[in-house]
Amino acid sequence: MNLILSIIYPIFAVGIDYSNVINTNMNKVTKKLALLIMTLVVVGSCKKTEEPKPTPEPKPEPELVPIRIATAVTRATDYAFETGDNVGLFVVNEPKSLQLGGNHVDNCKFTFDGTKWKAGKEIYWLDATTKADFFCYYPYTSSVSSITAFPFQVSQDQSSESGYKASDLMWGKADGVAPTPDPVVITVNHSMSCLIVKLKAGTGWKEDDIKDAEVSLCGLKTSSLINLPEGTVTADGNAMEMKPMQVGAGIFKALVVPQKVSGSELVKIKVGTNSYSLKTSIDLKSGRQHTCSVVVNRTGEGINIGIGPWETDDIDYGGSVE
């Protein structure tokens, strides 16, 4: 409006006769003035104040759910987990398969505090819907060189509890687990075979003689290769001599690599100054406990050994040595 007045006012403010001008140029002025007013109206109508667009609220970040585990041992009466025990954990999001590296979780160390397992570092589910497969093994090692041929060796000297326990490889898997804030329960199984030797005093011997006997195992491979995706065990390397742990009077046990023994020397027994060996055949299987009862009979300068049946396969392995 100020612009219009600034154009019209000078025309009437100057004291001259504009009648001729108006007469001669009225049509032109009228047209221009009308055009100017219309232009200003149009421009004014186009310059309406625009409403500010509302700022979109940021989407909340999805809450990360930590991964927790709980374990169950198939033969808890043998050895349950103890405070300070460590397991290794791999987590693979479906539909992927376990690889040496690049999994959702790679060989994370979990430590048992006597009540629950604590991760060495905080790990989380991928999201709220993606299922995952869990692979767990004991005892933990910081370096896993292969997932299909993971090397593991039982101790040759298992005369102490520490040597025996260090040889107790366990493996477990939980498939298709949906994300949950609760601990994922993984059942771990003994991967080695447990061989128990029981000595009994026969003719010519007293129980006191037998309880002081020395026993060793021989002809057994102590190295193995573990397939972590499947949990299978393959014996590897050369046969070595092993010293089992004595758990009672004339009772010995050792964790051995699953393998077949065919008519070869397996047990050596020393009673006093006499040493004897036993040859036999046995299929030592993963997760199985084999009990060998040996009756020691003294005949002259020699010894007769009668072997009772293995508790797991009902086969009589009887025999004698001189």
List the structure tokens of 304.
């007769």
pLDDT tens digits along 184-212: 999 999 999 999 999 988 888 888 888 88
Q: What is the pLDDT of residue 13?
A: 47
Burial of residue 1 (CB within 10 Å: 0-12, 13-18, 19+) is exposed
Residue 30, classed as helix, strand or coil, is helix
Confidence class for position 40, pLDDT limits 50, 70, 90: low
Lowest mean pLDDT among 56-60, 71-75, 282-286: 56-60
CA angle 142, 146, 147 (to 5 degrees): 95
What's the predicted TM-score (pTM) here? Answer: 0.75
Is the pLDDT reported for residue 243 higher than 80? yes
Give which of 180, 183, 196, 178 is closest to 75, Cα–Cα.
196
What domains can you pick out in the chain, each with its CATH number?
69-190 (2.60.40.2620), 193-307 (2.60.40.2630)
Q: What is the pLDDT of residue 36?
A: 61
| CA atoms of 122 and 118, how far apart (whole Å) | 9
Confidence class for position 292, pLDDT limits 50, 70, 90: confident
Q: At what angle do helices 2-13 and 19-46 cross, to 10 degrees?
A: 170
- E strands of 139-183, at which residues? 150-153, 170-177
